[in-house]
Amino acid sequence: MTKRRRSRPVQVGDVQIGGDAPVTLQSMTKTHTTDVKATVEQIKELEDIGCEIIRAAVPTREAAGCLGEIKKQIQIPLVADIHFSHRMALDAIEQGVDKIRINPGNMKDRGKVEEVVRAAKDKGVAIRIGVNSGSIRDRGQEDVPMADLMVDAILRYCEHFESLGFRDIVLSLKASDVPTTMDAYRRVAKECDYPLHLGITAAGPAATSIMKSAIGIGGLLSEGIGDTLRVSITGHPTEEIKAGKSILEALRLREVEGWELISCPMCGRCEIDLESIVEEVRSKLPPEKRGLQIAIMGCAVNGPGEAQECDLGIAGGHGFGLLFKRGEMVRKIPESEMVSQLLKELDEMSAPTNGGSGK
Ligand code: SF4
Protein backbone atom coordinates (compact mmCIF):
# COMPACT_ATOMS: atom_id res chain seq x y z
CA MET A 1 0.00 0.00 0.00
CA THR A 2 1.25 3.44 -0.88
CA LYS A 3 1.38 5.96 1.96
CA ARG A 4 -1.92 7.82 2.20
CA ARG A 5 -2.10 11.21 0.50
CA ARG A 6 -2.30 13.90 3.14
CA SER A 7 -5.44 15.96 2.62
CA ARG A 8 -6.74 18.95 4.54
CA PRO A 9 -9.34 18.02 7.17
CA VAL A 10 -12.93 19.07 6.55
CA GLN A 11 -15.53 18.79 9.28
CA VAL A 12 -18.94 17.39 8.36
CA GLY A 13 -21.05 17.52 11.50
CA ASP A 14 -19.09 15.51 14.03
CA VAL A 15 -17.27 13.48 11.37
CA GLN A 16 -13.94 14.59 9.94
CA ILE A 17 -13.19 13.86 6.31
CA GLY A 18 -9.51 13.89 5.38
CA GLY A 19 -6.52 14.83 7.49
CA ASP A 20 -5.67 11.92 9.75
CA ALA A 21 -9.26 10.63 9.94
CA PRO A 22 -9.97 7.07 8.79
CA VAL A 23 -11.68 6.61 5.43
CA THR A 24 -15.42 7.00 6.06
CA LEU A 25 -18.35 5.15 4.53
CA GLN A 26 -21.29 6.93 2.97
CA SER A 27 -24.52 6.03 1.30
CA MET A 28 -27.54 7.80 -0.11
CA THR A 29 -31.19 7.32 0.81
CA LYS A 30 -33.46 5.85 -1.82
CA THR A 31 -36.71 7.04 -0.34
CA HIS A 32 -38.56 10.22 -1.27
CA THR A 33 -37.04 12.83 1.04
CA THR A 34 -40.51 14.27 1.60
CA ASP A 35 -41.46 10.95 3.20
CA VAL A 36 -39.67 11.79 6.44
CA LYS A 37 -40.73 8.62 8.26
CA ALA A 38 -39.47 6.26 5.53
CA THR A 39 -36.28 8.29 5.07
CA VAL A 40 -35.47 8.29 8.79
CA GLU A 41 -36.19 4.55 8.98
CA GLN A 42 -33.81 3.87 6.13
CA ILE A 43 -31.09 6.06 7.66
CA LYS A 44 -31.43 4.27 11.00
CA GLU A 45 -31.04 0.94 9.23
CA LEU A 46 -27.90 2.29 7.59
CA GLU A 47 -26.55 3.68 10.87
CA ASP A 48 -26.97 0.23 12.43
CA ILE A 49 -24.68 -1.40 9.87
CA GLY A 50 -21.99 1.29 9.95
CA CYS A 51 -22.95 4.10 7.57
CA GLU A 52 -21.08 7.18 8.77
CA ILE A 53 -22.47 9.95 6.54
CA ILE A 54 -25.79 9.95 4.71
CA ARG A 55 -26.91 11.95 1.70
CA ALA A 56 -30.48 12.65 0.66
CA ALA A 57 -31.75 13.88 -2.70
CA VAL A 58 -33.32 17.33 -2.73
CA PRO A 59 -35.34 17.53 -5.94
CA THR A 60 -37.87 20.11 -4.70
CA ARG A 61 -38.13 22.91 -2.15
CA GLU A 62 -40.63 20.75 -0.30
CA ALA A 63 -37.88 18.09 0.05
CA ALA A 64 -35.43 20.75 1.23
CA GLY A 65 -37.97 21.76 3.86
CA CYS A 66 -37.98 18.24 5.33
CA LEU A 67 -34.21 18.08 5.98
CA GLY A 68 -34.32 19.74 9.40
CA GLU A 69 -36.85 17.23 10.70
CA ILE A 70 -34.85 14.31 9.27
CA LYS A 71 -31.66 15.63 10.83
CA LYS A 72 -33.29 15.86 14.25
CA GLN A 73 -34.11 12.15 14.18
CA ILE A 74 -30.77 10.70 13.04
CA GLN A 75 -27.29 10.33 14.54
CA ILE A 76 -24.99 10.68 11.53
CA PRO A 77 -24.22 13.81 9.48
CA LEU A 78 -26.76 14.66 6.79
CA VAL A 79 -25.75 15.81 3.32
CA ALA A 80 -28.17 17.48 0.91
CA ASP A 81 -27.76 16.51 -2.72
CA ILE A 82 -28.65 19.53 -4.84
CA HIS A 83 -28.76 19.96 -8.58
CA PHE A 84 -29.57 23.10 -10.56
CA SER A 85 -31.37 25.13 -7.89
CA HIS A 86 -29.36 27.49 -5.74
CA ARG A 87 -32.60 28.22 -3.87
CA MET A 88 -32.81 24.61 -2.67
CA ALA A 89 -29.17 24.75 -1.62
CA LEU A 90 -29.91 27.84 0.48
CA ASP A 91 -32.98 26.11 1.96
CA ALA A 92 -30.90 23.02 2.85
CA ILE A 93 -28.26 25.14 4.57
CA GLU A 94 -30.99 26.95 6.46
CA GLN A 95 -32.41 23.59 7.56
CA GLY A 96 -29.11 22.80 9.27
CA VAL A 97 -27.60 20.07 7.06
CA ASP A 98 -23.93 19.28 7.67
CA LYS A 99 -22.81 19.38 4.05
CA ILE A 100 -24.28 20.07 0.65
CA ARG A 101 -23.27 18.41 -2.56
CA ILE A 102 -23.47 20.59 -5.64
CA ASN A 103 -22.12 20.62 -9.17
CA PRO A 104 -21.52 24.33 -9.81
CA GLY A 105 -21.61 23.59 -13.54
CA ASN A 106 -25.32 22.90 -13.14
CA MET A 107 -25.92 26.33 -11.60
CA LYS A 108 -25.15 28.46 -14.59
CA ASP A 109 -25.31 31.79 -12.78
CA ARG A 110 -21.99 32.50 -11.03
CA GLY A 111 -23.67 34.99 -8.68
CA LYS A 112 -26.06 32.31 -7.41
CA VAL A 113 -23.18 29.91 -6.74
CA GLU A 114 -21.54 32.69 -4.73
CA GLU A 115 -24.72 33.15 -2.69
CA VAL A 116 -24.63 29.45 -1.80
CA VAL A 117 -20.93 29.50 -0.90
CA ARG A 118 -21.39 32.56 1.33
CA ALA A 119 -24.36 30.97 3.10
CA ALA A 120 -22.38 27.75 3.66
CA LYS A 121 -19.47 29.78 5.02
CA ASP A 122 -21.73 31.67 7.43
CA LYS A 123 -23.22 28.46 8.81
CA GLY A 124 -20.01 26.38 8.81
CA VAL A 125 -21.45 23.93 6.30
CA ALA A 126 -19.03 21.99 4.09
CA ILE A 127 -19.56 21.67 0.34
CA ARG A 128 -18.77 18.70 -1.84
CA ILE A 129 -18.12 19.78 -5.37
CA GLY A 130 -19.26 16.75 -7.30
CA VAL A 131 -18.44 16.62 -10.98
CA ASN A 132 -19.85 13.71 -12.97
CA SER A 133 -18.67 12.75 -16.44
CA GLY A 134 -22.23 12.97 -17.80
CA SER A 135 -22.45 16.71 -17.20
CA ILE A 136 -19.08 17.95 -18.34
CA ARG A 137 -18.34 17.80 -22.07
CA ASP A 138 -19.18 20.85 -24.18
CA ARG A 139 -19.35 20.93 -27.95
CA GLY A 140 -15.89 21.21 -29.51
CA GLN A 141 -14.18 19.25 -26.72
CA GLU A 142 -14.65 15.80 -28.27
CA ASP A 143 -10.88 15.17 -28.46
CA VAL A 144 -10.06 16.12 -24.87
CA PRO A 145 -9.89 13.14 -22.47
CA MET A 146 -12.86 13.10 -20.12
CA ALA A 147 -10.65 12.87 -17.02
CA ASP A 148 -8.86 16.09 -18.04
CA LEU A 149 -12.16 17.89 -18.61
CA MET A 150 -13.40 16.82 -15.18
CA VAL A 151 -10.21 17.86 -13.39
CA ASP A 152 -9.96 21.20 -15.19
CA ALA A 153 -13.58 21.99 -14.34
CA ILE A 154 -13.30 21.04 -10.68
CA LEU A 155 -10.10 23.03 -10.20
CA ARG A 156 -11.81 26.08 -11.70
CA TYR A 157 -14.67 25.65 -9.21
CA CYS A 158 -12.17 25.31 -6.36
CA GLU A 159 -10.44 28.53 -7.39
CA HIS A 160 -13.78 30.30 -7.48
CA PHE A 161 -14.70 29.04 -3.98
CA GLU A 162 -11.23 29.97 -2.66
CA SER A 163 -11.62 33.50 -4.06
CA LEU A 164 -14.59 33.77 -1.68
CA GLY A 165 -12.48 32.59 1.22
CA PHE A 166 -14.13 29.15 1.31
CA ARG A 167 -12.05 26.00 1.77
CA ASP A 168 -14.31 23.48 3.50
CA ILE A 169 -14.41 21.59 0.27
CA VAL A 170 -14.58 17.88 -0.55
CA LEU A 171 -14.18 16.81 -4.16
CA SER A 172 -15.59 13.99 -6.25
CA LEU A 173 -14.99 13.23 -9.91
CA LYS A 174 -17.11 10.25 -10.78
CA ALA A 175 -17.54 8.49 -14.10
CA SER A 176 -19.21 5.16 -14.78
CA ASP A 177 -16.01 4.16 -16.56
CA VAL A 178 -13.39 2.90 -14.11
CA PRO A 179 -10.16 3.99 -15.90
CA THR A 180 -11.57 7.52 -16.45
CA THR A 181 -12.55 7.80 -12.80
CA MET A 182 -9.15 6.60 -11.63
CA ASP A 183 -7.29 8.97 -13.98
CA ALA A 184 -9.37 11.93 -12.81
CA TYR A 185 -8.80 11.21 -9.10
CA ARG A 186 -5.09 10.56 -9.59
CA ARG A 187 -4.66 13.86 -11.36
CA VAL A 188 -6.69 15.95 -8.96
CA ALA A 189 -4.91 14.30 -6.00
CA LYS A 190 -1.65 15.82 -7.27
CA GLU A 191 -3.14 19.25 -7.96
CA CYS A 192 -4.70 20.10 -4.58
CA ASP A 193 -5.02 18.94 -0.99
CA TYR A 194 -8.81 18.81 -0.68
CA PRO A 195 -10.18 15.53 0.67
CA LEU A 196 -11.57 13.20 -1.96
CA HIS A 197 -14.90 11.40 -1.95
CA LEU A 198 -14.43 8.27 -4.08
CA GLY A 199 -17.07 6.55 -6.16
CA ILE A 200 -17.91 5.05 -9.52
CA THR A 201 -21.15 6.59 -10.66
CA ALA A 202 -24.05 4.63 -12.12
CA ALA A 203 -22.05 1.50 -11.46
CA GLY A 204 -24.99 -0.84 -11.98
CA PRO A 205 -26.54 -3.67 -9.98
CA ALA A 206 -24.67 -5.24 -7.07
CA ALA A 207 -22.49 -7.77 -8.91
CA THR A 208 -21.30 -5.25 -11.52
CA SER A 209 -20.95 -2.37 -9.11
CA ILE A 210 -19.02 -4.32 -6.52
CA MET A 211 -16.53 -5.42 -9.18
CA LYS A 212 -16.14 -1.90 -10.63
CA SER A 213 -15.96 -0.30 -7.20
CA ALA A 214 -13.46 -2.82 -5.85
CA ILE A 215 -11.18 -2.05 -8.78
CA GLY A 216 -11.78 1.70 -8.99
CA ILE A 217 -12.25 2.73 -5.38
CA GLY A 218 -10.03 -0.04 -4.02
CA GLY A 219 -7.33 0.70 -6.59
CA LEU A 220 -7.24 4.39 -5.66
CA LEU A 221 -7.22 3.64 -1.94
CA SER A 222 -4.33 1.23 -2.44
CA GLU A 223 -2.45 4.15 -4.03
CA GLY A 224 -3.14 6.24 -0.93
CA ILE A 225 -5.86 8.32 -2.62
CA GLY A 226 -9.28 8.86 -1.02
CA ASP A 227 -10.81 9.99 2.26
CA THR A 228 -14.43 8.88 2.07
CA LEU A 229 -16.35 6.63 -0.28
CA ARG A 230 -19.69 5.56 -1.56
CA VAL A 231 -20.26 2.38 -3.52
CA SER A 232 -23.25 3.12 -5.73
CA ILE A 233 -25.50 0.12 -6.32
CA THR A 234 -28.85 -0.21 -8.05
CA GLY A 235 -30.41 -1.78 -4.98
CA HIS A 236 -30.91 -1.30 -1.28
CA PRO A 237 -28.41 1.15 0.30
CA THR A 238 -27.36 -1.33 3.01
CA GLU A 239 -25.68 -3.26 0.17
CA GLU A 240 -23.59 -0.15 -0.53
CA ILE A 241 -22.33 -0.03 3.04
CA LYS A 242 -21.55 -3.75 3.12
CA ALA A 243 -19.60 -3.45 -0.14
CA GLY A 244 -17.72 -0.36 1.05
CA LYS A 245 -16.81 -2.10 4.29
CA SER A 246 -15.52 -5.12 2.39
CA ILE A 247 -13.26 -2.88 0.29
CA LEU A 248 -11.83 -1.19 3.38
CA GLU A 249 -11.37 -4.51 5.17
CA ALA A 250 -9.70 -6.15 2.17
CA LEU A 251 -7.19 -3.29 2.06
CA ARG A 252 -6.71 -3.51 5.83
CA LEU A 253 -7.88 0.09 6.14
CA ARG A 254 -10.47 -1.10 8.63
CA GLU A 255 -10.45 -3.88 11.17
CA VAL A 256 -12.23 -6.95 9.85
CA GLU A 257 -15.67 -7.11 11.41
CA GLY A 258 -16.55 -10.59 12.52
CA TRP A 259 -14.50 -13.43 11.10
CA GLU A 260 -12.67 -13.71 7.81
CA LEU A 261 -13.08 -16.96 5.95
CA ILE A 262 -10.22 -18.05 3.72
CA SER A 263 -10.85 -20.99 1.41
CA CYS A 264 -9.14 -22.28 -1.68
CA PRO A 265 -10.84 -22.41 -5.11
CA MET A 266 -10.51 -26.27 -5.24
CA CYS A 267 -8.90 -28.24 -8.01
CA GLY A 268 -8.32 -31.87 -9.04
CA ARG A 269 -6.30 -32.49 -5.85
CA CYS A 270 -9.24 -31.82 -3.55
CA GLU A 271 -10.69 -34.98 -2.02
CA ILE A 272 -13.25 -33.53 0.39
CA ASP A 273 -16.56 -31.78 -0.38
CA LEU A 274 -14.96 -28.41 0.26
CA GLU A 275 -17.72 -26.25 -1.19
CA SER A 276 -20.40 -27.72 1.12
CA ILE A 277 -18.10 -27.58 4.14
CA VAL A 278 -17.21 -23.92 3.53
CA GLU A 279 -20.85 -22.98 2.98
CA GLU A 280 -21.98 -24.77 6.15
CA VAL A 281 -19.22 -23.15 8.23
CA ARG A 282 -19.99 -19.74 6.72
CA SER A 283 -23.67 -20.03 7.59
CA LYS A 284 -22.94 -21.12 11.17
CA LEU A 285 -20.05 -18.84 12.14
CA PRO A 286 -20.96 -16.67 15.11
CA PRO A 287 -20.63 -12.97 14.15
CA GLU A 288 -19.14 -11.98 17.50
CA LYS A 289 -15.80 -13.70 16.80
CA ARG A 290 -14.33 -10.39 15.78
CA GLY A 291 -11.08 -10.35 13.83
CA LEU A 292 -10.61 -14.13 13.62
CA GLN A 293 -9.30 -15.70 10.44
CA ILE A 294 -10.41 -19.21 9.55
CA ALA A 295 -8.90 -21.18 6.68
CA ILE A 296 -10.53 -24.18 5.04
CA MET A 297 -8.28 -25.61 2.37
CA GLY A 298 -8.73 -28.54 0.02
CA CYS A 299 -5.44 -30.43 0.20
CA ALA A 300 -1.90 -30.59 1.46
CA VAL A 301 -0.39 -28.37 -1.27
CA ASN A 302 -1.21 -24.97 0.23
CA GLY A 303 -3.54 -26.18 2.95
CA PRO A 304 -1.25 -26.60 5.95
CA GLY A 305 0.54 -23.30 5.23
CA GLU A 306 -2.66 -21.25 5.09
CA ALA A 307 -4.26 -23.16 7.97
CA GLN A 308 -1.20 -22.60 10.14
CA GLU A 309 -1.15 -18.86 9.49
CA CYS A 310 -4.78 -18.38 10.53
CA ASP A 311 -6.36 -18.54 13.96
CA LEU A 312 -8.08 -21.76 13.04
CA GLY A 313 -7.71 -23.89 9.94
CA ILE A 314 -8.33 -27.19 8.24
CA ALA A 315 -6.16 -28.70 5.53
CA GLY A 316 -8.08 -31.43 3.71
CA GLY A 317 -6.82 -34.89 2.80
CA HIS A 318 -8.46 -38.08 1.50
CA GLY A 319 -11.72 -38.06 3.50
CA PHE A 320 -10.08 -36.38 6.48
CA GLY A 321 -8.49 -33.09 7.45
CA LEU A 322 -5.79 -31.76 9.72
CA LEU A 323 -7.04 -29.23 12.23
CA PHE A 324 -4.74 -26.30 13.07
CA LYS A 325 -5.18 -23.87 15.93
CA ARG A 326 -3.10 -20.69 16.17
CA GLY A 327 -0.26 -22.20 14.18
CA GLU A 328 -0.19 -25.69 15.72
CA MET A 329 -1.55 -28.92 14.21
CA VAL A 330 -4.02 -30.15 16.84
CA ARG A 331 -5.42 -33.40 15.43
CA LYS A 332 -6.66 -35.33 12.43
CA ILE A 333 -10.46 -35.25 11.96
CA PRO A 334 -12.80 -37.16 9.63
CA GLU A 335 -14.51 -35.17 6.88
CA SER A 336 -17.93 -35.81 8.44
CA GLU A 337 -16.86 -33.98 11.63
CA MET A 338 -14.97 -31.07 10.11
CA VAL A 339 -17.75 -28.52 10.54
CA SER A 340 -18.76 -29.53 14.07
CA GLN A 341 -15.19 -29.77 15.38
CA LEU A 342 -14.14 -26.51 13.79
CA LEU A 343 -17.14 -24.71 15.29
CA LYS A 344 -16.48 -26.29 18.70
CA GLU A 345 -12.86 -25.09 18.65
CA LEU A 346 -14.03 -21.66 17.55
CA ASP A 347 -16.49 -21.53 20.40
CA GLU A 348 -13.65 -21.99 22.87
CA MET A 349 -11.45 -19.32 21.28
CA SER A 350 -11.50 -15.69 22.19
CA ALA A 351 -10.92 -12.98 19.61
CA PRO A 352 -7.33 -11.78 19.25
CA THR A 353 -6.61 -8.97 21.67
CA ASN A 354 -4.69 -6.95 19.06
CA GLY A 355 -7.81 -6.67 16.87
CA GLY A 356 -6.15 -8.63 14.08
CA SER A 357 -5.54 -12.28 13.57
CA GLY A 358 -2.49 -14.42 13.85
CA LYS A 359 -1.98 -14.10 10.13
S1 SF4 B 1 -5.31 -26.05 -1.68
FE2 SF4 B 1 -5.15 -27.96 -2.81
S3 SF4 B 1 -7.24 -28.37 -3.49
FE4 SF4 B 1 -7.18 -26.25 -2.94
S5 SF4 B 1 -6.75 -25.25 -4.88
FE6 SF4 B 1 -4.81 -25.50 -3.81
S7 SF4 B 1 -4.00 -27.39 -4.62
FE8 SF4 B 1 -6.18 -27.37 -5.16
Instruction: Give the tens place of pLDDT for each residue, 185-219.
Output: 999 999 999 999 999 988 889 999 999 999 999 99
Question: Among residues 252, 251, 279, which one has the least CA distance to residue 263?
Answer: 279
Q: Is the CB of 169 under 6 A from ligand 1?
A: no
Average pLDDT over every residue of 217-233: 97
CA of 308 to the centre of ligand 1 (A): 15
**Cβ of 299 below 6 Å from ligand 1:** yes
Q: Give the global pTM.
A: 0.87
For the segment 271-297, the average pLDDT, to the nearest whole number, is 89
Is residue 255 within 8 Å of 317, Cβ to Cβ? Answer: no
Residue-averaged pLDDT of the chain: 92
Q: Ligand 1, from 297, 318, 324, 335: best to mutate by most atoms within 8 Å of Cβ?
A: 297
CB of 304 within 6 A of ligand 1: the answer is no
Q: In the structure, what pLDDT confidence band is assigned to residue 135 with cuts at 50, 70 and 90? A: confident
Q: Which residue has the higher pLDDT, 279 or 351?
A: 279
Q: Which of 262, 263, 267, 271 to mutate to test the pocket of ligand 1 (most atoms within 8 A of CB)?
A: 267
Residue 340 DSSP symbol: H
- Indicate whether residue 301 lines ligand 1 (CB < 6 A): yes
Kindly state if the Cβ of 273 falls inside 6 Å of ligand 1.
Answer: no
Q: How far apart are the C-alpha atoms of 229 and 244, rounded to whole Å?
A: 7
Cβ contacts of 2-6, under 8 Å, gap ≥ 24: 2/222, 2/223, 2/224, 3/224, 4/224, 5/189, 5/224, 5/225, 6/193
14-39 pLDDT, tens digit per residue, is: 999 999 999 999 999 999 999 999 99
CB of 1 within 6 A of ligand 1: the answer is no
User: What is the topology classification, in CATH, of domain 10-250?
Assistant: TIM Barrel (3.20.20)
* Confidence category of residue 154, pLDDT binned at 50, 70, 90: very high
The domain locations on the chain are 10-250, 260-348
Q: Which CATH architecture describes the domain 260-348? A: 2-Layer Sandwich (3.30)
State pLDDT tens for residues 44-102.
999 999 999 999 999 999 999 999 999 999 999 999 999 889 999 999 999 999 999 99
pLDDT digits (tens, 9 = 90+) for 157-192: 999 999 999 999 999 999 889 999 999 999 999 999
